[in-house]
Chains A and B, each alone.
Chain A
Amino acid sequence: MIVEDDESVRKSLKMYLELEGFKVMEALNGREAMDKVMTSRPDIIVTDIMMPEMDGFQFYLLLKDQPEIRDIPVIVLTAKGSTDDIRCASLMGVDEYITKPLDPENLVSKIKEMLA
């Protein structure tokens, strides 16, 4: 599942991942993602941080708080250079993060690694 508010980033990543043979769900923010995760459980979640309504970190914390879904692996996308984000990510024990502008090839290999 991709959680990202920017339509163009979301669409481009979705197309790329589909080409790689993944089935991709989309959500525009943490809240929407939370609803979708509850009904149809994804194998892995890729989420942006800065999003309206519920940001990536809030979403992550909420997710890790629910026993049924807390073991879904999460990759967080951060803007490079924003050390605050990275510090925050490591403080919260985020499974994995990738800095933007991300290389989709890199994302795919991370995903495969985490699903293996």
Chain B
Amino acid sequence: MCAGRAPSAFKNMNEKIMDLYSQVVKERDTKEAVLRNMAEGVMSLDENLVITSFNEAAEKITGWKAKEVVGKKCHDVFTGFDNESGLMVCTPAACFLYNAMKKGENSCKYFLRLRAGEKNERFVEFNCRFLKNGASKYTGAVIVFRDMSAVKELEDLRSELISTVSHELKTPLTSIKSYLQLLLHPKADFEMEKVKEILKSVSNAADRLDRCIGDLLYASRVKSNQLVLNLKHLNIAALVNNILDSYKGKTPKHRFTVKISENLEIMADREQMEYVVSHLISNALKYSPDGGEILIGAKKTDGHAEIFVQDQGVGIPAKHLKKIFDLFHRVDMSNARFAYGSGVGLFIVKKIVETHGGKIWAENIEGNGSRFIFTIPS
């Protein structure tokens, strides 16, 4: 009986083991695949904080190969600095893992500036979970780390933005305040004409403040896609000439040339098109501090009207040509600070053009200057 069933029972058992084994293998493979393909770097350490595994993302973030680091002590491999104090923390004494273990913690978290490769620096968030045997004996640790460099960059951009925006807002506010104090000064004894002149300056500064705030609000509205178009037939030449009239006599260093056929029309929102064209013109002026020609042209191409504004100014470094249309993106001009702004203008311009179904891009001109071109379907 027993002997009779033995082979089949054995076979059964064998199959079961095989099944189980293949299941385990499969599970291990998927786990490995998951680990390998995870965007987060994962490494495991033994109780002496010697690295025992290192996934692909970890290799990518740090630039080291698993085979170079496995078997080494974590703090001998990593060179990390505390983000705030700038102090080196990957030493046996300063190691945040040791310190957490000394305190008997189950997990810990840390933000490090990691030196990887030659001068490549990354901002990395480490999340560590300790493995314990019982309540107090550490058997190892699993550390998940995430490259936060892009986030850090954004954060830096944000603080830079706050400083430029606050400069843009505080400047007109300062002059408003000074003019008003001037009028209120106990020794003040101005003729009516002078008072009017001063009040006119106050009013101009208030307008500037209003424009700046308006731009910021507009940008946030545009960002949440709340742009409504009021389409009308617009004559491009008339629109451009109208805008240029407001610059008459104000920019002696620049010459305006307009090359637009008189009857070129588009279907567009007047107010928004005015914003687009006048912003491109004001940028062209602002970024050509030595003056030169500002050329504005428009022509019909199939299905579109193509409009451009071209200057002879400082031009745009190639790697910024696309990015300047991003919100708050400005070309770093720390060594030639000739123009301040908040980096919202082109973002709004692009949104307007795209809402009209058109495209916008920037080009550098051989020699000097740049050209901004946009299309509007006709």
Contact = CB atoms under 8 A, between A and B. Distances in A.
B338 A9 contact: no
Contact of A82 (B167, B179, B181, B205): B167
Interface in B156-188: 159, 162-163, 166-167, 170-179, 181-182, 185, 187-188
**B173, B176, B181, B340 — most chain A CB neighbours (10 Å):** B181
B181 A8 contact: no
B192 interface: no
Contact of B338 (A53, A84, A101, A102): A53
Given A15-B182, A100-B171, A52 B201 contact: no
Interface residues of B, number: 30
Nearest to A85: B163
Interface in B45-99: none
B170 A80 contact: yes
Contacts of B176: 101
B257 interface: no
Contacts of A55: 337
Contact of B167 (A19, A50, A104, A105): A50
A55 to B, nearest CB: 6
Interface in B299-327: none
A93 interface: no
B339 A52 contact: yes
A52 B175 CA distance: 19
Nearest to A51: B337
Contacts of A84: 159, 163
Given A11-B201, A85-B163, A100-B173, A52 B181 contact: no
A104 B182 contact: yes
Interface in A1-51: 6, 8-9, 11-13, 15-16, 19-20, 50-51
Interface string A80-116: 1110110000000000000011111100000000000
B205 to A, nearest CB: 5
A69 interface: no
A11 B159 CA distance: 30
B201 A12 contact: yes
Interface in B240-259: none
A77 B175 CA distance: 13
B289 interface: yes
A102 B337 contact: no
A12 B175 contact: yes
A25 B284 CA distance: 31
A91 to B, nearest CB: 15
Nearest to B159: A84
Interface of B: 159, 162-163, 166-167, 170-179, 181-182, 185, 187-188, 198, 201, 204-205, 289, 336-340
Interface of A: 6, 8-9, 11-13, 15-16, 19-20, 50-53, 55, 77, 79-82, 84-85, 100-105
Given A12-B174, A12-B201, A81-B162, 10 more contacts: A8-B201, A11-B175, A11-B201, A20-B185, A50-B337, A52-B339, A77-B174, A79-B163, A79-B167, A100-B167
19 contacts: A8-B205, A12-B178, A12-B182, A15-B179, A19-B185, A19-B187, A51-B337, A53-B336, A79-B163, A80-B166, A80-B170, A82-B163, A82-B166, A82-B167, A100-B167, A100-B174, A102-B174, A103-B181, A104-B182
